[in-house]
Amino acid sequence: MESTTRPPVRLLVFGRQGAGKGTQAVRLAEQFGVPHISTGDMLRAAVREGTEFGQRAKEIMDAGHLVSDEVMLGLISERLAQPDAVNGWLLDGFPRTLQQGKDLMALTGADGIDLALDLDVAEDVVVERISSRRVCSSCGANYSVQVPPTSPWTCDVCGGEVTQRDDDTEQAVRERLATYLLQTIPVVKWFEEQGLLATVDGVGDRDEITEELISLVTNRLF
Ligand code: ADP
């Protein structure tokens, strides 16, 4: 798709932790030729860089809390001002509070967001998915209790140790989900009230879900 001939594509992707949002967000951004902007990835990059901001963000993330709306707005407005975002973007992990939603709308203007997609997966299903997830501590490859590496628990890709992430225990997952319910569901509802939300069933074949998302965006925008 030629970026010079098509209208801008400005998308939001919502979904509980474990809904498959990250995977689908990457695929959609690629399909529509826009940058995939994940606030979680941006914050983790700042943590790796070891900046003062990164150190503060790490404390907040490790505690399972949200970084402040003010800081997030600064981060996202700088990112959306980058040259690669002039003809659209896909936001993954932002907005996460009602305030962030209103801030984003103020930043982009009322017509500046084309569609918000909500990947719907029931809470019990995501708890089951995440608590059975296992990850290579060296290269990040994903496994699960149902689909372990060939030699438990050594990574097939790099030989690293395959373990459970500290924040993937059932208790920790339930805490992050509670924050989603309390803070993020209200902003999802707000976008629905604006007529900007499309909800997709996130349980099923991954490729079929991608196709459904692509056709929703295509029908809406082109
Ligand atoms: P998850 O969806 O599993 O929480 P993310 O990668 O989206 O993972 O986010 C990781 C952490 O980064 C969050 O728990 C939160 O502390 C922080 N974070 C990411 N996006 C935002 C945001 N929009 N507002 C506040 N904090 C955020």
- According to the model, what pLDDT value does residue 170 have? 78
CA 205–ligand 1 middle distance (angstroms): 26
Size of the chain in residues: 222
Give yes or no: 21 in active site: yes
Give yes or no: 176 in active site: yes
Q: In the chain, which stretches have pLDDT less than 70?
A: 1-5
Per domain, the residue ranges of the chain are 9-120+171-215
Q: Which atom of ligand 1 is least distant from the CA of 65?
A: 16
Q: Which residues line ligand 1 (CB under 6 A)?
A: 17, 39-40, 43, 60-61, 65-67, 72, 93-94, 96, 100, 176
Q: Residue 157, Cβ neighbours under 10 Å: how many? A: 12
Name the active-site residue from 27, 96, 129, 134: 96
Contact 11, 28 (CB under 8 A): yes
At the fourth CATH level, which superfamily is domain 9-120+171-215?
A: P-loop containing nucleotide triphosphate hydrolases (3.40.50.300)
- According to the model, what pLDDT value does residue 4 have? 53
Pocket test for ligand 1, best of 96, 97, 102, 181 (most atoms within 8 A of CB): 96
Contact 86, 7 (CB under 8 A): no
Q: Residue 92, Cβ neighbours under 10 Å: how many? A: 23
Q: Residue 69, Cβ neighbours under 10 Å: how many? A: 17
Question: Distance of CA 73 to CAs 93, 108, 131, Å?
Answer: 12, 12, 31
Residue with tokens 């402040």: 68
pTM: 0.87
Q: Which ranges in 50-183 belong to alpha helices (H)?
A: 52-62, 69-80, 98-108, 123-131, 170-179
| Burial label, 23 (beta-carbon count in 10 A; 0-12, 13-18, 19+) | middle
Q: Residue 5, Cβ neighbours under 10 Å: how many? A: 6
Name the active-site residue from 10, 16, 21, 134: 21
CA 39–ligand 1 middle distance (angstroms): 7
CA 95–ligand 1 middle distance (angstroms): 10
Q: Which two tokens stand for residue 211?
A: 């196709």
Which pLDDT tens digit goes with each residue over 36-76? 999 988 998 898 899 999 999 988 887 778 999 999 999 99
